Chains A and B, each alone.
Chain A
Amino acid sequence: DTAVSQTPKYLVTQMGNDKSIKCEQNLGHDTMYWYKQDSKKFLKIMFSYNNKELIINETVPNRFSPKSPDKAHLNLHINSLELGDSAVYFCASSHGTANQPQHFGDGTRLSIL
């Protein structure tokens, strides 16, 4: 059983479109995250969210927005996609304290044409 699952695995779309990536975790964690991995494999936190607060990395454009219907889900919505948004996006989850490891999904490879 997959602990953190993302859909779709691959997403190919055109510039200017709006798209969403879904993430679900079945680990009972209370905190979820979105990371972006660029073509050089560099990983950067985009958002972290629990039922109390949303923390946004200040470098993330406001075209990106996380939406959490419940504690087990954190979806990523992207408006007006740009070429530079091409990357692999990883969802992760953990218990909310800083000393707990995060569990990652297998990623969504987003390609903008």
Chain B
Amino acid sequence: AQSVAQPEDQVNVAEGNPLTVKCTYSVSGNPYLFWYVQYPNRGLQFLLKYITGDNLVKGSYGFEAEFNKSQTSFHLKKPSALVSDSALYFCAVREPGGGADGLTFGKGTHLIIQP
């Protein structure tokens, strides 16, 4: 069975500093990996995905993530944090043969950017 771990409940970063939100996964075979962001009282918004190819993927709002197969990780990063980046971030995984299966999400990490 596939699973995702987000080891940090909360990450605090000063505005302008780089940020990292951690994610590790467990899946049989090659994974499809996703990051989503949720603002209060809103649905999830897609940020970026890794399917195959270059290990560094770039997404919306200046975010990027690095796929590391040996460490089974897919950490979310941004070079310079904005206060508006404060939100709940979810990492998710899906197996290639998943077809119509839903995503398996991590428990989420609250990102707080301090002015």
A45 in contact with B45 (CB, 8 Å): no
Tell me whether A107 is interfacial, beta carbon within 8 Å: yes
| 4 closest residue pairs by CB, A with B | A45-B102, A104-B43, A98-B98, A101-B46
| Complex: chain B residue closest to A97, CB-CB | B99
Q: A91-104 CB contact bits vs B (8 Å, 1 = yes)?
A: 01000111101111
In the complex, chain B residues whose CB is within 8 Å of the CB of A105? 43
B45 in contact with A98 (CB, 8 Å): no
A53 in contact with B100 (CB, 8 Å): yes
Q: Number of residues in A with C-beta < 8 Å to the partner?
A: 32
A106 in contact with B90 (CB, 8 Å): no
C-alpha gap A2/B40 in the complex (Å): 18
A53-B100, A98-B94 are contacts. A41–B107 as well, Cβ < 8 Å? yes
C-alpha gap A42/B46 in the complex (Å): 17
C-alpha gap A4/B42 in the complex (Å): 12
In the complex, chain A residues whose CB is within 8 Å of the CB of B100? 31, 48-50, 52-53, 55, 96
C-alpha gap A97/B96 in the complex (Å): 8
A40 in contact with B107 (CB, 8 Å): yes
Interface residues of A (CB under 8 A from B): 4, 31, 33, 35, 40-50, 52-53, 55, 57, 90, 92, 96-99, 101-107
Interface residues of B in 30-79 (CB under 8 A from A): 32, 34, 36, 38, 41-46, 49, 51
A4 in contact with B43 (CB, 8 Å): yes
B32 in contact with A90 (CB, 8 Å): no
A43 in contact with B90 (CB, 8 Å): yes
In the complex, chain A residues whose CB is within 8 Å of the CB of B103? 45, 102
C-alpha gap A41/B42 in the complex (Å): 12
CB distance from A103 to the nearest CB of B (A): 7
Select A98's contact among B32, B36, B88, B90, beta carbons within 8 Å: B32
B101 in contact with A45 (CB, 8 Å): yes
